[in-house]
């Protein structure tokens, strides 16, 4: 059985410019505009918060930790502000070169931010090693830091506020629920006075400062995460090999994407493909549907599973995949 899965689907081409290239300073009047970094241990809801604020899925969300692998810039707009939210990889002790890249991405995002939001959970009753890593990263920052206690739909946030207040002073605190969309307007109101005055950096229709190829790879990776169990998803990288759209190739009626799912061992390859190719088909069909909604084109998605032993420790492979 070939590890290839072809499923009528489609998406745009290789060297698409970043979506932000269409951005322009559009506001005549002065507003608040700045960068807000979201930090916290893996799986506290940073990506869910970004999606809730923007009203659509722009960041991969999964119950599995370490879902975010790049510092993703997402743009929130209203009449008074433009806020660039940077969804950072969760801070955790790195176990390989990919882990070190993730930690560096998060720390660089913190240093560049006008405001930092530390997300924690309402059920927290002690500090985890990842929380201590956040505390160390925040130690020398001069930017104001807000404490956001998430998942307040599950339990009382009071003890969590008390726990974190014993370790650091904050410029503001807020209980939120990304699932219930609770206190999101209050969060924007809390952020605005802390942001510098200035014109918007991006046109109001720009939601992410990234390429369509990156969005496609993240959607595919999201389906890998949701379709596979245990450690395997974190050993998988997605590489977009071809990306051709009817806009760039008028003879095409569909968006075409050829993508490789890169794994480290033959056992992982077998798991990703699944019995009779069913798991790979599940990933491809789910990603194709989501890509069609996102792009407005019928999509031809051509997935392959490729073996690259130890790719998370390989500098050349990490560079090729954009992790350097």
Domains of the chain, CATH where assigned: 5-13+211-320 (3.30.300.20), 19-198 (3.40.50.300)
Under 8 Å between Cβ of 314 and 235: no
Q: Does the pLDDT value for residue 252 go beyond 50?
A: yes
Mean pLDDT, residues 170-180: 95
| Burial classification of residue 276, based on how many CB atoms lie within 10 Å of its CB (0-12 exposed, 13-18 middle, 19 or more buried) | exposed
Confidence grade of residue 282 (pLDDT, cut at 50, 70, 90): very high
Mean pLDDT, residues 207-229: 84
Confidence grade of residue 74 (pLDDT, cut at 50, 70, 90): confident
Confidence at residue 178, expressed as pLDDT on a 0 to 100 scale: 93
Confidence at residue 231, expressed as pLDDT on a 0 to 100 scale: 56
For the chain, the straight-line distance linking the first and the last C-alpha, in angstroms and rounded, comes to 35
Of the listed ranges 121-130, 208-217, 223-232, 311-320, the least confidently predicted one is 223-232
Of the listed ranges 104-108, 109-113, 234-238, 241-245, the least confidently predicted one is 104-108
Mean pLDDT, residues 22-43: 70
Q: Does the pLDDT value for residue 13 go beyond 60?
A: no
Q: How many CB atoms lie within 10 A of CB 161?
A: 19
Write the pLDDT tens digit of every residue in 150-165: 999 999 999 999 999 9
Confidence at residue 71, expressed as pLDDT on a 0 to 100 scale: 60
Under 8 Å between Cβ of 31 and 193: no
Q: Does the pLDDT value for residue 72 go beyond 80?
A: no
């Amino acid at each position: 059985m070939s590890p290839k899965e072809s499923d009528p689907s489609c998406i745009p081409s290789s060297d698409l410019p970043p979506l932000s290239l269409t951005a322009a300073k559009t506001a005549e009047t002065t507003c608040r505009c700045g960068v807000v970094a979201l930090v916290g241990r893996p799986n506290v809801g940073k990506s869910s918060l970004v999606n809730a604020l923007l009203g659509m899925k722009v960041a991969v969300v999964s119950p599995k930790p370490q879902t975010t692998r790049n510092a993703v810039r997402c743009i929130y707009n209203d009449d008074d502000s433009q806020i660039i939210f940077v969804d950072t990889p969760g801070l955790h002790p790195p176990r390989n070169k990919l882990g070190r890249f993730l930690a560096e991405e998060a720390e660089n995002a913190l240093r560049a931010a006008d405001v930092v939001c530390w997300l924690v959970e309402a059920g927290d009753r002690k500090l985890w090693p990842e929380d201590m890593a956040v505390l160390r990263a925040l130690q020398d920052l001069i930017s104001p830091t807000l404490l956001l206690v998430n998942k307040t739909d599950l339990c009382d946030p009071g003890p969590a506020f008390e726990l974190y207040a014993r370790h650091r002073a904050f410029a503001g605190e807020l209980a939120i629920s990304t699932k219930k969309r609770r206190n999101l307007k209050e969060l924007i109101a809390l952020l605005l006075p802390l942001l510098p005055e200035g014109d918007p950096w991006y046109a109001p229709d720009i939601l992410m400062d990234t390429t369509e190829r990156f969005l496609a790879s993240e959607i595919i990776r999201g389906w890998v995460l949701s379709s596979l169990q245990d450690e395997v998803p974190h050993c998988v990288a997605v590489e977009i090999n071809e990306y051709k759209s009817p806009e760039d190739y008028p003879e095409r009626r569909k968006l075409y994407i050829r993508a490789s799912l890169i794994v480290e061992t033959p056992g992982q390859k077998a798991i990703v493909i699944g019995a009779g190719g069913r798991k790979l088909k599940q990933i491809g069909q789910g990603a194709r549907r989501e890509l069609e909604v996102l792009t407005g084109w019928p999509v031809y998605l051509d997935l392959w599973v490729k073996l690259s032993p130890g790719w998370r420790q390989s500098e050349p492979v990490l560079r090729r995949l954009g992790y350097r």
